Structure 1
């Protein structure tokens, strides 16, 4: 950010810290002394939506841009986001494409990272799979807004520990706002490479669109969030009925065979593009895990009686 292409004298940097104890705060204080435009804000509750709202309230500029951790941003990222917002007065939120890289160089880590940017694993999420040109979308990674957007529709919902960005963008669109994806704006996200962490991540990803929708009283997701749920529900019903029904057994076998063929096809396409035949071993497992665990999370998001 400090060495990026956007003029340093035309921005302030607010780092909202959840009272970390890993040495981050000492490092930030050192930077604060050298760069007066950098300020650290305390987030004692360690809540992501609370952190976002703290930053928005403290920001003094007319444009607010969000940068998350676990990602590396191109030197021109801020400049392109701001320019994109200024060049498109009909856009209320501007973002770009989030590339995915593995945290480790293992086959599983590479397969997980690649699955998150393939349409078979990510659906029609344009900020994941990319786009050939500017597109109006339902959400983007991070975001760049005019400050008046928050005055108009409010801040992030602090009762949602996850999916607060999805809810905010849904609320923005319901209020007549528009979200623009510009594919020349890019950053790199480091996906989880540990299988256990990946499963937990997928379960949470499937859980929150449904749990958050119940919490706010309206559907905030997309059709891509429903597909894994339908797959898991249909497979579970088919397996339960198969011992008692020949048609159910045939339909279940046909459905699972079709899914397996599709997983192999998309895995082969990625392996050919990446010139790595080993991905044919890892990607089908990752795709299947993505859909089954995501769908299971969706089921629990519908049934979970607890509060957010």
Structure 2
């Protein structure tokens, strides 16, 4: 069980019926209840650039010309996250965006705890039922229930910086991209989650993904979270609900296949809270590997070399075990020794760089991430998710 320090939430500043499904023709817009719409008071927004750090991030284009920021809908898929979701919602309410913000939460929880927490503390948010419980299904339902044309994803374990919406909308309008997003910054609050955060950003844990490693602004394969226009999501049929994980990468792939651009803006950075126990981390990465393999079978041209590293490691370690079983011990030990040495070096380097003794827990965290991802990849072959037809 994770320690109380790991599960403590970060400091904090009636489901509606469904509307049309994603991908169908537009239906007449219905305004949500007043409590579901939120806008910063005019006095709080101010009117001078010096009151808004990063004022250059304001939206450009038609909306800027008339001096009105376009309204946005924040869509949040969540399940049994009553401990984490309040901090995410508080960060949404702390946005310094000048336009209207709507919050729609797709609740796939097994019990009423999360919904009760939202209703009691965040009456501005609107809850809709997500009986499937899946992330992709929840996102599609939240998008269908949302009112506005610009859609901003926020996950329950994320903390948005105050200028997130403002910067993301500005980048969306400036670039004309199909999807805009930024960097994930894992942040731990206890020794284990700090170790996982270090592992996720170390070269051996980041896996070369630009939304973790950073880099120049521009086109990329995928981003963390995402911001889209409604018409973009509807044109490709929304998220693939047959994928329980990897729905974001798969959506980005289809967008790029249709000629759209997925745009990384490294000035957009979101704090992410890692899993609080080794068992939860293993389960998370097993599902990542499992559903990545399913997605790759459907879209084989989306494969990146880095995605084969963990499966190759697991296959190699299995081979080492077979060699050890027949008495070829010296050869069998080569790969495990090299792998553990690489993990140890990464642990020492990150611990020295960050001056954090929690780095001592990096080795089991990295090992769990590698082995679980690779094992999930190979165990995915019996998985036969229904292939859906997309536009």
- Give the TM-score normalised by the residue count of structure 2: 0.69
Q: After TM superposition, give the deviation of residue 138 of structure 1 in Å.
A: 1.1
Query: Gaps (5+ residues) in structure 1?
Result: none
Cα contact 2:103–2:126 (8 A) shared by 1: yes
Distance across 2 between alignment mates of 1:57 and 1:144:
15
Q: After TM superposition, give the deviation of residue 227 of structure 1 in Å.
A: 0.7
Distance across 2 between alignment mates of 1:230 and 1:30:
47
User: Where in structure 2 are the equivalents of 1:126-205 lying within 5 Å?
Assistant: 126-131=210-215, 133-205=216-288
Q: After TM superposition, give the deviation of residue 147 of structure 1 in Å.
A: 2.1
Deviations 1:96-151 (A, max 9, x none): 1111122x412x332112111122112111212333x3132211111011222123
Cα contact 1:15–1:40 (8 A) shared by 2: yes
Q: Which is further off, 19-28 or 177-186?
A: 19-28
Query: Gaps (5+ residues) in structure 2?
Result: 1-91, 387-391
Distance across 2 between alignment mates of 1:192 and 1:66:
20
| Other-structure match for 1:42 | 129
- Give the TM-score normalised by the residue count of structure 1: 0.86
Cα contact 1:96–1:182 (8 A) shared by 2: yes
| Other-structure match for 2:164 | 77
* Structure-2 change in CA distance of 1:252 and 1:176 (3 Å): farther
Cα contact 1:209–1:221 (8 A) shared by 2: no
Match of 1:208 among 282, 291, 303: 291
Distance across 2 between alignment mates of 1:250 and 1:221:
34
Deviations 1:250-295 (A, max 9, x none): 544333332223222222221111113552x322222222212211
Distance across 1 between alignment mates of 2:301 and 2:134:
23
* Structure-2 change in CA distance of 1:95 and 1:222 (3 Å): same
Deviations 1:134-187 (A, max 9, x none): 132211111011222123222111122222222111111111211111111111
Give 3-state SS (helix, strand or coil) of 1:5's partner. coil
Cα contact 2:294–2:383 (8 A) shared by 1: no
Cα contact 1:166–1:221 (8 A) shared by 2: no
Give 3-state SS (helix, strand or coil) of 2:156's partner. coil
- 2:342 counterpart of 1:262: yes
Number of positions where the alignment pairs a residue of Structure 1 with one of Structure 2: 294
- The CA RMSD over aligned residues, in Å, is 2.4
Match of 2:186 among 89, 95, 100: 100
Distance across 2 between alignment mates of 1:81 and 1:252:
50
Distance across 1 between alignment mates of 2:224 and 2:351:
26
Distance across 2 between alignment mates of 1:60 and 1:277:
47
* Structure-2 change in CA distance of 1:50 and 1:289 (3 Å): closer
Cα contact 1:209–1:220 (8 A) shared by 2: no
Give 3-state SS (helix, strand or coil) of 1:116's partner. helix
Q: Which is further off, 174-183 or 58-67?
A: 58-67
* Structure-2 change in CA distance of 1:157 and 1:285 (3 Å): same
- 2:52 counterpart of 1:52: no
Match of 1:294 among 365, 368, 373: 373
Give 3-state SS (helix, strand or coil) of 1:15's partner. strand
| Structure with the higher fraction of residues in helix conformation | 1
Give 3-state SS (helix, strand or coil) of 2:201's partner. coil
Cα contact 1:63–1:144 (8 A) shared by 2: yes
Give 3-state SS (helix, strand or coil) of 2:369's partner. helix
| Other-structure match for 1:224 | 306
